[in-house]
Amino acid sequence: MKRYEAMFILKPDLDKTGQDKILGHIRELVAKHNGTINETKEMGKNRLAYPLKKNKEGVYYLINFSIAPDAVDGIKKSLVLNESILRMLVIEL
């Protein structure tokens, strides 16, 4: 298993339950692929450098997890379809 770090920018109009729902979905995806989440950190709401899907702000989350390398593409494909996620980036540590 390799370690990865993912940064997510969520829509600013989501309430706390909506954000928790998305984070729960991410946790389920990682667990489904036999991975473990090491740390989840909310970075807060920040202004974006340019509008994304007509949003000028976003809520940032940083997630560190360990998973098999072949499962990362499946997780990315699943999360790209979520309309509440403005942007995401997954890198290997």
Residues 20-61 have pLDDT tens digits of 999 999 999 999 999 999 999 999 999 999 999 999 999 999
Prediction pTM value: 0.89
> What is the spatial distance between Cα 59 and Cα 75, in angstroms, rounded to a whole number?
20
> What domains sit in the chain, N to C, each tagged with a CATH number?
2-92 (3.30.70.60)
pLDDT at 92: 94
The closest alpha carbon to 83, from 14, 16, 32, 24, belongs to: 14
Tens of pLDDT, residue by residue over 12-27, are 999 999 999 999 999 9
SS3 28: helix
